[in-house]
Amino acid sequence: MNRRRKLMLGNWKMHHLRSDLVKFGTEFRQSLCSPLASVLEQVDVGIAPSFLCLETLTAQFPEHGWWNVAQNAHYAATGAFTGEISIPMLHEIGITKILVGHSERRQYFAESDQVVGKKVQACFERGMHPIICVGETLEIRKMELAEKTIESQIRAALQHCPPGSSFTIAYEPVWAIGTGIAATARQAQDMHQFIRRVLADLFGESVAIALRILYGGSTKPENISELLSQPDIDGALIGGASLDGGSLARMINSAVSV
């Protein structure tokens, strides 16, 4: 029996306007099994919305323990990087957690393992908690190179990790993101167990046992319980199914009851 609390995070990607948030919040709160403050005593919960929704969401969910997460940030603190957002800018509005290396950033914005490593390093230097996303493509899995790929993504991301750093890993197989085809509980558990072994090799057994590893990829109310009941799955990063308040709440209810 591990002591890791479940962490349920929505990733809204480039969805939802600020004007959608009141309806979302109402449906979300109505569908939770108990008031949000009580839920947050049992599981960690949050959302990564667009940058423009971050402050609105902070106001909408003031409950202690709610995670308001940025979807990305530049590794430089300041500079001539038109269109980018820096970690100090996020800090200024109270954000302390960032998704780093999401597969869509890697795929559409050419974020290499090296860039991901620099972003993670910048997070550690500036007191941010990165949620580090890793995942293999279908081609890589078919070639039986999934573990090798995940291991090198993790090692590159954490190459400048000072002892005691706070971070979360999200395993998101690229073939499962937005496809409707989630990894089976067995596939996900096997990879999570492997990731924990890599983390143990890097930081020692006692650190690895305390780190949270989330699963992401086509999770929904119907499949979340089985995934969350696996011993090394400590929560979920939820894309499409987090856009509807009722659906996200039902998934969180499952996390409370597993």
- For 8, 195, 226, the CA distances from 241, given in Å and listed in that order, are 12, 25, 16
DSSP 32: S
| Minimum CB distance to ligand PEP, residue 164 (Å) | 27
Cα separation, 173 vs 137, in Å, equals: 6
| Minimum CB distance to ligand PEP, residue 213 (Å) | 14
| Minimum CB distance to ligand PEP, residue 61 (Å) | 20
Listed in order, strand segments (DSSP E) in 39-128 are: 44-48, 66-70, 97-100
C-beta closer to ligand PEP: residue 157 or 237: 237
16 a catalytic residue: no
| Minimum CB distance to ligand PEP, residue 178 (Å) | 4
Which of the residues 104, 111, 136, 172 is marked catalytic? Answer: 172
Q: Which residues bind ligand PEP (CB under 6 A)?
A: 11, 172, 177-178, 216-219, 237-241
Local structure of 153: helix, strand or coil? helix
Residue 144, judged by CB atoms within 10 A of its CB (0-12, 13-18, 19+), counts as exposed
Cβ neighbour number for residue 244 with a 10 Å cutoff: 17
C-beta closer to ligand PEP: residue 101 or 239: 239
172 a catalytic residue: yes
C-beta closer to ligand PEP: residue 15 or 91: 15
C-beta closer to ligand PEP: residue 197 or 220: 220
Which of the residues 102, 104, 111, 192 is marked catalytic? Answer: 102
Active site residues: 102, 172
